Amino acid sequence: MKKADLIIRNANQLLTIKSECPKTGIEMQNLGIIQNGAVAILGEEIAGVDTTKEITENFISENIIDASGKVVMPGFVDPHTHPIFVKTRENEFEMRILGRTYKEISQSGGGIRSSINDVRKASKEELVELGLKRITKMLEMGTTTIEAKSGYGLSTASEIKMLEAISELNKISEMDIIPTFLGAHEFPEEYKDNQEEYIKILIDEMLPEVKKRNLAKYCDIFCEKHVFNVEQSRRILSEAKKLGFKIRMHADELEPIGGAELAAEIGAVTADHLVAVSDKGIKKMKEAGVIPILLPATTFSLGLKKYAPARKMIDAGLPIVLATDFNPGSSHCDSMQTVISLACTEMGLLPSGAITASTLNAAYSLELGNKIGSIQTGKQADILIMDMPSYKYLPYHLGSNCVDMVIKKGRVVFNNSQR
Ligand code: NIG
Ligand code: FE
């Protein structure tokens, strides 16, 4: 008999999503389900995964959680968020309903630029306090790892302040947070007519400083016709690569300008959004091994009817990933459960495929697939107990938090029934 610190047993369905690589094609629908499943946890790790009968015969523990009638699954991984900002921008949401577009709003003083002043003025402590509230809510909705971007400071000092706030949040919250530098999110007001000067600051000052302080694993860019064009993006990302940053990209969100093709050329880890991606871009991404991250809550929140061509990318053999894009402008959505619902109804993913895209594949998109994203022996014990009879219920119950319990690194960090 082996000793465990915690055993979760009698799960109606235990979704292991077991795999040694990201899932593609039909394999995305294979959730590795164990009926009447159980998990044994020792310290921060998973020590055993099997039927309740097998686990009960092999492990003993003083801590037992009964998951009868429920689904047990890996924590959600949200690999594209912008959670550090000061004010929300609900006025823009209303303006879009009245017919203005995201691009029009951002070119007339709203958009990313309107979030800059407050972030520049805020102290690091304020950013941490605001960020902690948001991240705690995400955790309670089952997200156990996020990627978080800077990009609302757009000066060396304020971008560093944002990244330091992200680093502090990683230390003080239960959430694992992977930091991304997004100094190329927009041209700040003072450089809007002198783009070359801002690019020079990005390359000569910001990137080396962020690297020196080891504040970000990834460098991202908003590559779009009205923001950083392909040529500017290529220059900035090449410099970032030389310094040792891995690359993520906001690519082909609004117009097909060759963002996905650039992601492939530069060897980016991910290309995100891709609503307007070209067939050539899909082909190049497949050849280069770029992972597509799709953000249906953004399309929904922008009130657009055309979603990223998810089925086409699945048919091309790409390992689809989902994320919230949580931010104050284009997607004020912090729930991976909602994203999964939208991915099913608006992009034609099956519930099983959408769950794989939000766990295992999302973990691989952060290069953490060997540690999180599935329930396998030796992996970190980031586990959800969901108040639902089967995984198919997850996208069906739209807009509700169906999480019963969140277990992070082997510890219960949220218990809905004890609220
Ligand atoms: O991913 N596209 C760029 N960045 C965000 C929007 C941020 C904002 O509007 O504040 C996005 O949609
Ligand atoms: Fe984004």
Task: Give the per-residue pLDDT at 221.
Answer: 98
Confidence of residue 108 (pLDDT cuts 50, 70, 90): confident
- What 263-270 contacts at long range (C-beta under 8 Å, 24+ apart), as own/partner pairs, is 263/288, 263/290, 264/288, 264/290, 265/234, 266/234, 266/237, 266/238, 266/241, 267/241, 268/237, 269/218, 269/365, 269/367, 270/79, 270/80, 270/321, 270/365
How many CB atoms are located within 10 Å of the residue 119 CB?
24
Q: What are phi and psi of 339, to 5 degrees?
A: -60, -40
Residue of minimum CA distance from atom 2 in ligand 1: 222
Task: Give the per-residue pLDDT at 398.
Answer: 97
Residue of minimum CA distance from atom 6 in ligand 1: 330
Ligand 1 neighbours by CB, cut-off 6 Å: 82, 111-112, 115, 222, 250, 253, 298, 325, 327-331
| CA 52 to ligand 1 centroid distance, Å | 45
Q: What is d(CA 301, CA 50) in angstroms, rounded to the nearest whole number?
A: 41
Task: Give the per-residue pLDDT at 193.
Answer: 95
Closest approach atom of ligand 1 to CA 224:
2
Least confidently predicted of 94-108, 171-185, 305-319: 94-108
Is the same domain home to 107 and 151?
A: yes
| CA 114 to ligand 1 centroid distance, Å | 12
Is the same domain home to 179 and 280?
A: yes
| CA 196 to ligand 2 centroid distance, Å | 23
Closest approach atom of ligand 1 to CA 329:
9
Q: Write out the E strands in 274-379.
A: 291-294, 321-322
Number of domain units in the chain: 2
Is the same domain home to 92 and 163?
A: yes
Pick the closest to residue 249 from 214, 284, 301 (CA basis): 284
Is the same domain home to 80 and 67?
A: no
Q: What are phi and psi of 42, to 5 degrees?
A: -125, 120
Is the same domain home to 60 and 170?
A: no
CATH number, domain of 49, equals: 2.30.40.10
* In the chain, % of residues over pLDDT 70: 100
The distance between the two most distant Cα atoms of the chain, rounded to a whole number of Å, is 70
Confidence of residue 237 (pLDDT cuts 50, 70, 90): very high
Residue of minimum CA distance from atom 3 in ligand 1: 222
Task: Give the per-residue pLDDT at 417.
Answer: 84
Q: How many CA atoms lie within 13 A of 67 on its CB side?
A: 36
Q: For residue 328, give its domain range.
A: 76-365
Is residue 17 one of the residues assigned to a domain? yes
Q: What is d(CA 371, CA 196) in angstroms, rounded to the nearest whole number?
A: 41
| The pair of three-digit structure tokens given for residue 27, joined into one six-digit string | 């394999």
| CA 250 to ligand 2 centroid distance, Å | 6
Task: Give the per-residue pLDDT at 109.
Answer: 86
Task: Give the per-residue pLDDT at 418.
Answer: 77
Look over the chain and give the mean of its residue pLDDT values, rounded to a whole number. Answer: 97
Q: Span 158-170, mean pLDDT?
A: 98
Bridge-based pairing of strands 270-273 and 246-251 is: parallel
Task: Please name the amino acid found at residue 377.
Answer: T
pLDDT digits (tens, 9 = 90+) for 300-309: 999 999 999 9
Closest approach atom of ligand 1 to CA 273:
1
Pick the closest to residue 333 from 401, 256, 419 (CA basis): 401
Q: How many CA atoms lie within 13 A of 241 on its CB side?
A: 16
Task: Give the per-residue pLDDT at 107.
Answer: 87
Q: Span 119-123, mean pLDDT?
A: 98
Bridge-based pairing of strands 59-60 and 321-322 is: unpaired
Task: Give the per-residue pLDDT at 419.
Answer: 67
| CA 112 to ligand 1 centroid distance, Å | 7
Q: Is the pLDDT of residue 67 over 80?
A: yes
How many CB atoms are located within 10 Å of the residue 54 CB?
15
| CA 48 to ligand 1 centroid distance, Å | 41
Q: Span 41-59, mean pLDDT?
A: 98
Is residue 37 one of the residues assigned to a domain? yes
Is residue 370 one of the residues assigned to a domain? no
The DSSP annotation for 212-226 comes to: HTT--SEEEEEESTT
The residue count of the chain comes to 419
Provide the 8-state DSSP code for 398. T
Q: Span 131-160, mean pLDDT?
A: 98
Ligand nearest to the CA of 114: 1
Is the same domain home to 383 and 273?
A: no
